[in-house]
Amino acid sequence: MCGIAACILENDKAAPILLGCVKKLEYRGYDSVGIATLNSSIIVEKDEGKINDFEESLDLSKFQGRIGIGHVRWATHGPPTRENAHPHLDCDGKIAIVHNGIIENYMELKNELKSEGHNFASETDTEVIAHLIEKYKNRGHNLEEAVRRALIRLKGAYAIAVISSDEPDKIIGARKESPLIVAKGERGYFLASDIPAILDHARDVIFLDDNEMVIIDDTGARIKDLEGNIKKKEYKYIEWTPEMAEKGGYDYFMLKEIHEQPQVLRDTLREINTIQRVVDEIGEIKRICFVACGTSYHAAFVGKYLFESILHIPTDVIIASEFQYTANALDKETLTIFITQSGETADTLNALRAVNKKSKTLAIVNVLGSTATREADHVIYTRAGPEIGVAATKTYISQLACIYMLAAAIGRKTEIVKDLRKLPDEMEKILEKEELIKEIARTYKNKSDFLFIGRGFSYPTALEGALKLKEISYIHAEGYASGELKHGPIALIEKGVPVVAIAPPPLPLKTGAKIVKDEEEFRNSHSLTLSNVKEVKARGAEVIGLGAEDDEEFKKNTDKYISFNPSIREEISPLLYIIPLQLLAYHISVMKGEDPDHPRNLAKCVTVV
């Protein structure tokens, strides 16, 4: 996720205004920054690093134009370097563009443009768009038509702002699956990825829809579709304060990031071809060893169940701080997979170094250019964007998506990815149940202990649900394999103890290539968890059930029930069933007067052992 901003001002110089706009978008990306303004020619300054350092180094006097574009980057294609920072230019420096999104077919377009003589200065997908526009301008089209023709060629997601010294009185914007707003203020017109960027200058906003362009000049803003038809849209007045706007109107970043998860999953699922390439580079794998901490460890745990159930590859999952005591069993036929959203967790880096070439290593990371990405043999990037809340939410979903796509790539089983594509819409439906989850939070917020139970794929979900509650509400919570209750934990059950039971419809048991037809066989993980639910209920527990909406047997044995689409079976349930547990932890934390974004004793990145 990056942040773009653009402005066409009546009298003021654009540069200082643009800098202020991109600073307000820093939560969307902060590994590099840049601005370009347009007078008779385009002036660009950009660099890797933080915005404040960039601002200190800038000589604003060289920027005379009243039109400009700006960008804060969260690197996706190409590490954070000056060359990869935005804005990007065409060959002659007459077109400048900033972009938020991922162009899936950029390599194909780049090869086409290179063969036509275009020279590239960066590794980014964005620069391809600048040269594609140049290509169509060189065919005699004006800027608007050249941008339109270029957009039609793009596959993927984009929000762009484009300026050209050949037409120095306009800005063109467009969006597809990445947000872009048009704002009108006293100083002039603005484009931005998000409301915080423009709130100091404008409050009348239009939210562009997918496949729409906007042409802004001194006569105003005109919106068109990609066929060139004018689209009539009304400005909406934004009441938010700047602080509210940075959180997208949510009270805390954590809640905003929970609600971003459907889009994060859509963005991460675009990586399937990249993941297939990584798998092909890795070659034969006979054994897998996942290594991670905290939430990333829970994602790895899901990976164990997935890889062993569909790939039949022996798979270990080891807590990173324990790994160095077991690293001696590795060999060249093992793939050790390190999952770390920050890429900087000391325990995980120590484990990575303990491998010491004994096995192939793969890192699944959210932060491009982080240490883990430089030390592992292979890297897969999640596409969660910056996660500001200390508690991991959307990075967990993107880690799981990468693990499922990794399994699909290793096993050449594309049906898994097809199943995953159903999930963003199902996530939206679960997020619409937030009021029910708030009511459950209100009921149980003063409890001192929670148990979370699940079997198979639902066991890691139980562990992650317990961790979320612990780390932001400070209530003691434990996740257990539900079959383990009778080996001790059930002694904790007494009247009123809340037990969260996770029991999605079980996956069909496959013995060999054959799917077992006997329905009873299907009920194994699910029916046994229901037995565990009845055992704790009989001892006075208050059961919060998570299961299929048509599961009457489960429902009648619970005090509260959160229902899911029955077509979402156990195998892909971890990506969906965790969402109500994130919301439950969040709302209990807020109802207890805690700050879920900054939980006590915790850091977003644990760089100590």
Q: Which of 340, 361, 458, 565 binds ligand AGP (CB under 6 A)?
A: 340
Q: Which of residues 242-261 bind ligand AGP (CB under 6 A)?
A: none
Q: In the bound complex, what is the minimum distance in angstroms from residue 212's beta carbon to ligand AGP? A: 37
Using the minimum distance from each CB to ligand AGP, give the nearer residue, 156 or 369: 369
Q: Go through 557-579 and write b for each residue having 16 or more CB atoms within 10 A of its CB, e for each that does not.
A: bbebbbbbbeebbbbbbbbbbbb
Using the minimum distance from each CB to ligand AGP, give the nearer residue, 101 or 460: 460
Using the minimum distance from each CB to ligand AGP, give the nearer residue, 188 or 596: 596
Using the minimum distance from each CB to ligand AGP, give the nearer residue, 348 or 558: 348
Using the minimum distance from each CB to ligand AGP, give the nearer residue, 189 or 301: 301
SS3 content of the chain, % helix, strand, coil (to 5): 40, 25, 35
Choice among 2, 7, 293, 402 that is catalytic:
2
Using the minimum distance from each CB to ligand AGP, give the nearer residue, 174 or 402: 402
Q: In the bound complex, what is the minimum distance in angstroms from residue 396's beta carbon to ligand AGP? A: 8
Instruction: Considering only the stretches 191-199, 340-348, 436-444, 514-522, report the one whose residues sit in contact with ligand AGP under the rule CB under 6 A.
Output: 340-348
Q: Which of residues 437-476 bind ligand AGP (CB under 6 A)?
A: 471
Q: Which two tokens stand for residue 200?
A: 């100091």
Distances (CA, A) of 365 to 76, 373, 374, 406: 11, 7, 11, 14
Q: Which of residues 375-404 bind ligand AGP (CB under 6 A)?
A: 390-392
Q: Where are the beta strands (DSSP E) in 95-196?
A: 95-103, 156-164, 171-176, 181-185, 188-192
Q: Which of residues 108-147 bind ligand AGP (CB under 6 A)?
A: none
Instruction: Considering only the stretches 19-27, 237-245, 339-347, 356-364, report the one whose residues sit in contact with ligand AGP under the rule CB under 6 A.
Output: 339-347
Q: Which of 68, 185, 248, 294 binds ligand AGP (CB under 6 A)?
A: 294
If residue 348 lies in a helix (H) or strand (E), which one and from where to where?
Answer: helix 346-355
Q: Which of residues 343-382 bind ligand AGP (CB under 6 A)?
A: 345, 348
CA 393-481-268 angle, to 5 degrees, is 30
DSSP 327: G
Q: In the bound complex, what is the minimum distance in angstroms from residue 468's beta carbon to ligand AGP? A: 7
Distances (CA, A) of 90 to 125, 146, 211, 240, 415: 13, 13, 23, 38, 40
Torsion of CA 535, 537, 542, 545, to 10 degrees: 70
For the chain, how far is it from start to end, CA to CA, in angstroms?
A: 30
Strands 188-192 and 3-9: antiparallel
548/562 Cα distance (integer angstroms): 8
71/516 Cα distance (integer angstroms): 55
In this structure, are residues 391 and 472 in contact, taking their beta carbons and an 8 Å threshold?
A: yes
Specify the residue for token string 């990249």: 274
Tell me, yes or no, if 2 is annotated catalytic: yes
Q: Which of 296, 361, 373, 382 binds ligand AGP (CB under 6 A)?
A: 296
The two counts, helices (H) then strands (E), for the chain are: 22, 26
In this structure, are residues 291 and 320 in contact, taking their beta carbons and an 8 Å threshold?
A: yes
Cβ-based neighbours of 465, under 8 Å, separated by 6 or more: 452, 477, 479, 500, 502, 578, 581, 584, 585
Choice among 50, 233, 445, 604 that is catalytic:
604
Using the minimum distance from each CB to ligand AGP, give the nearer residue, 295 or 461: 295
Q: Which of 268, 341, 482, 557 binds ligand AGP (CB under 6 A)?
A: 341
Using the minimum distance from each CB to ligand AGP, give the nearer residue, 84 or 395: 395
Specify the residue for token string 């995980």: 348
Using the minimum distance from each CB to ligand AGP, give the nearer residue, 288 or 390: 390
Q: Which of 32, 178, 342, 532 binds ligand AGP (CB under 6 A)?
A: 342
In this structure, are residues 475 and 497 in contact, taking their beta carbons and an 8 Å threshold?
A: no
Contact between 581 and ligand AGP per CB under 6 A: no
Instruction: Considering only the stretches 80-88, 154-162, 252-260, 291-299, report the one whose residues sit in contact with ligand AGP under the rule CB under 6 A.
Output: 291-299
Contact between 606 and ligand AGP per CB under 6 A: yes
DSSP 177: B
Instruction: Considering only the stretches 184-192, 288-296, 417-425, 573-581, report the one whose residues sit in contact with ligand AGP under the rule CB under 6 A.
Output: 288-296
Residue nearest to ligand AGP (CB): 294
In this structure, are residues 63 and 103 in contact, taking their beta carbons and an 8 Å threshold?
A: no
Q: In the bound complex, what is the minimum distance in angstroms from residue 348's beta carbon to ligand AGP? A: 5
Q: Which of 76, 124, 295, 573 binds ligand AGP (CB under 6 A)?
A: 295
| Interface characters, 205-234, with ligand AGP (x: CB under 6 A) | ------------------------------
Instruction: Considering only the stretches 64-72, 239-247, 292-300, 572-580, report the one whose residues sit in contact with ligand AGP under the rule CB under 6 A.
Output: 292-300
Q: Which residues bind ligand AGP (CB under 6 A)?
A: 293-296, 340-342, 345, 348, 390-392, 471, 605-606
Catalytic positions: 2, 604
